[in-house]
Structure 1
Amino acid sequence: MTSYSERLWPTPWLFIACLLFLPAVTLMLTPINFTLAIIVAIVTYAAACWFLILTSPRVTLDERGLTAGRATLPREFIGAVEVLHGDDFQLAIGPKLDARTHLLLRGWIKSGVRIENTDAQDPAPFWIVSSRTPEDFAAALTPAA
């Protein structure tokens, strides 16, 4: 039984972009108190980074099934799997998206996997999950022949 695990961490550029909180908060609070402005700016940056890390979901596949964030798809309902990169990924989550599809996406990850959901009782016909290693993820989802 193949297993897989991936944490959808934010890209380093997001942490660098959050550095813009430092001058913004400092400029806003400097007229009140410069020392307070520096302290609040640093705390704001740390809180933003902590929030990004805390909210990064985990994707796991084990003997029970696929867990993407807080949702679980039992292994027996995993159907056809398709690797999506670049334009195919953008089309799958854009113009070609079925509104019933279950999504676990992160904007900073430009690839993923579309998984057919064969559960007749589930209204979501597909799952689309972001992944930095979609080939490995798809290989773990596909049963060995």
Structure 2
Amino acid sequence: MQLSPAHHDERLTAPRSWWAIAVLTGIACGLMLLPLGTMPLLAGLVGGTALTGLLVSSYGSQRVRVVGGALAVGEARIPVTALGDPEVLEPEEARAWRTYKADMRAFMLMRSYVRTAVRVEVTDPADPTPYVYVSTREPRALVAAIRAAQEKTAGDKAAQDTAKA
């Protein structure tokens, strides 16, 4: 499906190594129950793998979208009219904004396994959040989508103002 320039949809999935760790955790759970017999071994193997896989899946899969004139990050939805100019953060700069440059008041969806990010200032004077930090594997596409949505929203508002006059 081809998205318009004002749309972006990305799922931040956990790396393969996390899934390998989930399987190894299941094996460890099964081995701990080995002295109790074969059935507890299988139950521990299946249960440990399933539980760890569920944890990896829930933490490791967040959506980053630009849709309907808003930046939707995880459960948060921020209208693009409340955002400033987005900035692509390369790996070193993204690391700096995750660590020593970070502001406690900022909204951050960061995933350590995603090296690049986008930072967008919040321009709404009523919002105490200084900026939004979003880990993304496609920072240029996300920035382009935010800018396109901002331009579309500004154009729609100008058209409404003209129609009222």
- Cα shift readout 1:50-109 (whole Å, capped 9, x = no counterpart): 332234211111123111011111121121211112111110110011111100111211
**1:113 matches 2:129:** no
**1:20 matches 2:24:** yes
5+ residue gaps, structure 2: 152-165
Match of 2:10 in 1: 6
Quote how far apart the aligned CAs of 1:116 are. Answer: 0.9
TM-score (norm 1): 0.90
TM-score (norm 2): 0.80
| Aligned CA-pair RMSD | 1.8
Aligned length: 145
2:77 counterpart letter in structure 1? T
State how far apart, in whole Å, the 2-side matches of 1:86 and 1:92 are.
10
State how far apart, in whole Å, the 1-side matches of 2:24 and 2:112 are.
19
Provide closer, same or farther for how the CA distance between residues 67 and 59 of structure 1 changes in structure 2, counting only shifts above 3 A.
same
State how far apart, in whole Å, the 1-side matches of 2:54 and 2:104 are.
32
Point out the structure with the larger helix share: 2
> Identity of paired residues, percent?
28
Match of 2:163 in 1: none
5+ residue gaps, structure 1: none
1:116 counterpart letter in structure 2? E
Quote how far apart the aligned CAs of 1:38 are. Answer: 2.5
Match of 1:46 in 2: 50
Name which of structure 1's ranges 31-40 and 56-65 shifts more when overlaid on structure 2: 31-40
Q: For 1:72-111, what aligned pairs fall within 5 Å after superposition?
A: 72-111=77-116
State how far apart, in whole Å, the 1-side matches of 2:41 and 2:76 are.
41
